[in-house]
Structures are given as structure tokens and as C-alpha cells.
Amino acid sequence: MSAEPKTQTKPIELYYWPTPNGWKISIMLEELGVPYEVKYINIGKGDQFEPSFLKIAPNNRMPAIIDPEGPDGQPISVFESGAILQYLGRKFGKFYPAAERARVAVDEWLMWQMGGLGPMSGQAGHFRVYAPEKVEYGINRYTNEVNRLYGVLNRQLEGRDYIAGDYSIADMACVGWISAYKSYDQKLEDFPNLKRWYEAVTARPAVQRGMELGKTEREKSNLATDKSAQSVLFNQKAR
């Protein structure tokens, strides 16, 4: 038997920067309608390497959360976007089904996004936008892989409104990565099921609010031209 859905009285701390990975959690919190407080982690300035952040996110990556009302009423920190989505889904009993078969389906597509759609899109964006030299092999390799993944998702969405049944954290995890399709040289018209799904999901008010969060902060810097920010992001070594 699943636990009763919980309410939230103290705000959840969201360590965030407006990127597809950050949007996963801002969308989820907006969909849940629970109180949260944003702690911006400017990844172009290196905020992710601050010792205080490292304590809750040992991989030096946002997003992360601190829930002051965690298990047994004690605070808990969670890093990795997929783990955060699962935690919030379990806690509040929404967008993450309790029935095992339905939950497995959501988990499959959440892991697909984390292991495929996100990393491959990120590499395509890197070689197409940020790389100081145009490396045709890298551009073609990752652009083609994103195209293949769009095809996978397009087939999954045939005859379905959402990726894994009802609207869920799987949809929240994927939508932000699809939003930058032009940067990956993709055309949604080539994937009609994906296009229909994308338009339906981005029409949700909570999704719009989640993806707008911090937009003005992000607009203050242009990572495509800011060489110092690129150095922070793309030349990291063990610390």
C-alpha cells in the first residue's frame, strides 16, 4: 500500500540554473503547487564548485534540492535530476504512479532521457554551438544520434498522449531537451507524434512557468560567446 500524499509547509530549496536539467525540477514543483525557494547556481561563474554546494551535490552539478520536511520530518538533500523527480513523485503521490507496472514504464523513459536524450543532445549542442573548432565527425555523430532518439520517441508516442501512459515525470524530463531542437538541427515536422506531444506539454501553464523561471538571469550572459564561462563549463578536472 502506498503512503498517503503529503503536504508541504516549509519551502523546498531548489538549487537551479535555467537549463533543460534545471527545468525538470522547476516544472515538477510548479505542477505540484508546493512552496519552493530558488537558489541560483550560475554555472558559467562556477557557483557549482562552492564548498557549500558540494555538500549537497557531490558531482558539482545542479539541480539539487533540500527538503526541510524529508523522511520522518527531518531535512534531506537530493542531487541528480532523475532522483529528485522520483523523490518528489513518491512524496507527493503525483506524476509518478504507485502501481509497479506503470511505475516501471515511467522509470524506463526517465532513464532513457538521462542516459540518452539528455547526454546526446548536450554533445550535439556542444559540437554545434560551443566547440572552438568545427569537428565534422562530432557534429555528425551527435546530430545523427539525436535524430535517432527523436525517432524512438516519435514511435513511442504513436497512439499515446504522453510518453509512459498518463502525464508524468517522464514527460517533464524530456520536454526541456526537445525545446532546443533547432540547436540540434532537427525539425519537429519530421516527427509528427513528437510534435503533437511537445505542443501539448508546453501548453501546460506549470510547464511554461517552470521553463520561464530564471530566464532573465540566463539572459545576462551568453554562453555561446562568453569564453570565461565556457572555460568553467568545459575544462573541468578532478578537484
In which domain, by residue range, is 17 found? 12-94+211-234
Find residue 69's DSSP bridge partners: none
Show Cβ contacts of residue 15 under 8 Å, excluding neighbours closer than 6 positions.
Answer: 39, 41, 53, 56, 57, 62, 63, 64, 65, 66
Looking at residue 95, its pLDDT comes to 98
- Looking at the fold, whether 108 and 197 belong to one and the same domain comes out as yes
Does residue 119 lie in a domain region? yes
Total domain count, the chain:
2
- Looking at the fold, whether 61 and 117 belong to one and the same domain comes out as no
Q: What is the pLDDT of residues 167-193, one digit of tens each?
A: 999 999 999 999 999 999 999 999 999
Show Cβ contacts of residue 104 under 8 Å, excluding neighbours closer than 6 positions.
Answer: none
- Looking at the fold, whether 109 and 187 belong to one and the same domain comes out as yes
Distance CA 100, CA 146 (A): 30
- Looking at the fold, whether 197 and 217 belong to one and the same domain comes out as no
Main-chain dihedrals φ then ψ at residue 98, nearest 5 degrees = -85, -30
Q: What is the pLDDT of residues 27-84, one digit of tens each?
A: 999 999 999 999 999 998 899 999 999 999 999 999 999 999 999 999 999 999 999 9
**pTM assigned to the model:** 0.92
- Looking at the fold, whether 161 and 104 belong to one and the same domain comes out as yes
Identity of the amino acid at 157: L
- Looking at the fold, whether 190 and 220 belong to one and the same domain comes out as no
- Looking at the fold, whether 62 and 116 belong to one and the same domain comes out as no
Distances in Å between the alpha carbon of 163 and those of 23, 32, 136, 154, 200? Answer: 18, 19, 32, 9, 12
Does residue 3 lie in a domain region? no
Share of the chain above pLDDT 70, in %: 90
Does residue 239 lie in a domain region? no
